[in-house]
Amino acid sequence: MTTKPPADRRQRRSITLRDAADQFRRHPSPWMIGGMLVAAVAARLIVGDWQLTDAVLPLVMLAVFPFAEWVIHVCILHWKPRKVLGLTVDSLLARKHREHHVDPRDVPLVFIPWQTLMWLIPVLVAVSLLAFPRTGLGLTFLVVLSVLGVLYEWTHYLIHSDYKPNSRLYRAIWRNHRHHHYKNEHYWFTVTTSGTADRILGTDPDPESVEKSPTARNLHAVR
């Protein structure tokens, strides 16, 4: 009986964006977040009540998003299991992310687990409806958040696929995230941008000055 090698050790092949999109839509996460986006857009159009804050909020969210990515990546995805009152605290997101580092080209591990989205989407809907002074503004928040969610999933998937970067912008994003997986897991935490939150928060060093980490593929292992 032969053992299938890890995805990153299998032969790479050149694929087009159309090929990548075909694979992308086979996974539940894009459909779940996309469904939230469609519902949010429909609800936003029905509610109306457009005000200046509906234009300002998306700009604020775009500015904050790289930092939110950074915090989530550092504090949640790279969470180290801890004992609390005798119980091990270790989320599904953290466990799946450790598996993702072991085999960065295993496609299902690239996406947000559908089990997490099953409870996260209702929570986000509740926040958008209850935490804002206007229903319309809350729905604007949900629309923008859904767009950012789809963008995150698509960018993260594309980086780990066999699609070769062509544009200068995407090449920088692609290189930034691959440094995180194949160079040193303690740096380069943003996914959809390059040189933004990482640069401000001190995790965007010159790659040539950083030693290759022995635990990039095995998070939290003892050196």
Concatenated DSSP letters for the chain? -PPPPPGGGSPP----HHHHHHHHTTSHHHHHHHHHHHHHHHHHHHH----THHHHHHHHHHHHHHHHHHHHIIIIITPPPEEETTEEE--HHHHHHHHHHHSTT-GGGGSPPHHHHHHHHHHHHHHHHHSSSSHHHHHHHHHHHHHHHHHHHHHHHHHHSSPPP-SHHHHHHHHHHHHHHHT-TTS---SS-SSSHHHHHT----GGGSPPPTTTTSTT---
Q: What is the pLDDT of residue 85?
A: 86
127-143 average pLDDT score: 97
Q: What angle do CA 181, 206, 151 make, to 5 degrees?
A: 50
Mean pLDDT of 162-191: 94
Q: Which range among 198-202, 205-209, 219-223 shows the weakest confidence by mean pLDDT?
A: 219-223
pTM: 0.91
Report how far residue 194's alpha carbon sits from residue 173's, in angstroms, rounded to the nearest whole number: 5
> Averaged over 198-209, what is the pLDDT?
95
Name the burial class of residue 142, with classes exposed (0-12), middle (13-18) and buried (19+) by CB atoms within 10 angstroms of its CB: buried
Exposure string over 124-138, b if 16+ CB within 10 A, otherwise e: bbeebeeebeebbbb
Please say if the pLDDT value at position 9 is more than 80: no
For residue 161, pLDDT over 90 is answered with yes
pLDDT of residue 10: 53
User: Residue 7: what residue type?
Assistant: A
- Nearest 5°: the CA angle 100, 8, 114 is 30
pLDDT band at 129 (very low <50, low <70, confident <90, very high): very high
pLDDT interval class at 11 (50, 70, 90): low
Token look-up 């050149």 returns 14
pLDDT of residue 12: 60
Say which residue, 142 or 5, is predicted with more confidence.
142
Question: Domain residues of the chain, as ranges?
Answer: 27-209
Q: What is the mean pLDDT of residues 59-66?
A: 97
**How much is the pLDDT for 2?**
42
Structure token pair of residue 61: 């969210």
Q: Does residue 166 register a pLDDT over 90?
A: no
Q: What is the pLDDT of residue 189?
A: 97
Distances (CA, A) of 133 to 36, 62, 82, 121, 192: 21, 20, 38, 20, 30
Please give the average per-residue pLDDT across 129-135, as a whole number: 96
CA 39, CA 74: separation in Å to the nearest integer? 31
| Averaged pLDDT score across all residues of the chain | 92
pLDDT at 108 over 60: yes
pLDDT above 90: percentage of residues in the chain: 84
| Burial (Cβ within 10 Å: 0-12, 13-18, ≥19) of residue 152 | buried
Tokens in use for 150? 């789809």
